[in-house]
Amino acid sequence: MAIEIKVPQLPESVADATLVTWHKQVGQSVTRDENLADLETDKVVLEVPAPVNGVLKELRITAGTSVTSGQVLAVLEEGAAAAAAPAPAAKLAASVAPAAAPAPAAAKAAAPANDKLAPSVRRMVEEKQLDPAKIPATGKDGRITKGDVVEYLDKPAAAKAPAAPSAPVSGAAGRQDQRVPMTRLRARIAQRLLEAQQTQAQLTTFNEVDLKAVMDLRAKYKDVFEKKHGVKLGFMSFFVKAAIEALKKFPVVNASVEGSDIVYHEYYDIGVAVSTEKGLMVPVLRDADLQSMADIEKNIGLYATKAREGKITIDELTGGTFSITNGGTFGSLLSTPIVNMPQSAILGMHATKERPVVVNGEIVVRPMMYVAMSYDHRIIDGREAVQFLVAIKDALEDPARLLLSV
């Protein structure tokens, strides 16, 4: 029975998608729920799973083509088995001499095919337009790891390509450029960042936070917290809770601009930025004020995993009222984050460094973090922005405030 493989129903906010790559070709067997192709929208990469076991009979759409909801991508023959016809070259070799079995070492060193790569590795290989056969594999059973790809990319070009006859090179004739088109997601990120700067009157205010109290509290309870809740106690849940308390005191920071109106949101959907291979994504913690710290840590971990595996949905990335981004994970000491429109403000966390500070008239060494808040000056005044950041500082330097909501 022939079954049509169609583009999944796209959200209302997404008009079309781009078929990035096929993971199966005509004649290959597929199993139910196996990913056949990747569709890239402006926000996420969607997978097209096989509805049944069978053999891919026909591809209707080529990679790089724009598609819409319900459009037929391919035809799958249910229940059929892939024909295993030997190649002509194999027949010729068999007639000349018995085929020699490959040596174990050679078999292990053979590079895996594209459909055997881990999803994250496959995306790196396809984005960089690499040949997996040329990448030395160090993973289990001769598989290519992300580290193998990164190491291969870091090698000089001469070390990647086979030696070619040398030719005299003079001046700039030997220099080359590599031109790679932006992915649809990267182009959309670039467009939204530029739009945010052109539309909003963005300004950034800074402060610093002494994290000793938070670190002491975390060190005291992290083991029992993980044992009880099954998740590690990180720092992000403290910042989310502190941001919510500050948002309650300064509702305009949780608002957004629609035309000539200010929309005050009476709920707290907090976006937490996650870095992925394809760019920055901001999953949203719905009703974060109703979530416990354990819930926040679990949901952040879940969303981060889904985002990096390309399985996060558009609904999970839309509708936030305020965002938090942590450049400190990459070593950033200070930055000016860009507001995630249509929101009006974003909190930037940074690296925690021990620095000498004055406490009660004495110089002591404390774990300090610079925090930044970029905001839309059209509706948020400087006074409100500064006081909002001070409220976050106060809550983090005295975590009991988060329990007492004071």
What amino acid positions are annotated as catalytic residues?
377, 381
Please choose, from the candidates 369, 406, 377, the residue with its C-alpha nearest in 3D space to the C-alpha of residue 391.
406
Q: DSSP code of 23?
A: S
Tokens representing residue 11 in the block: 């959200």
In contact, 246 and 388? CB cutoff 8 Å: yes
Residue 207's alpha-carbon distances to 175, 253, 331, 334, in angstroms, are 46, 17, 18, 10
39: phi then psi, degrees, rounded to nearest 5? -115, 125
Determine how many CB atoms are found less than 10 A away from the CB of residue 248: 14
Sequence length of the chain is: 406
Q: Residues of 328-365 as b/e, b for ≥16 C-beta within 10 angstroms?
A: beeeeeebebbbbbbbbbbbbbbbbeeeeeeeeeeeee
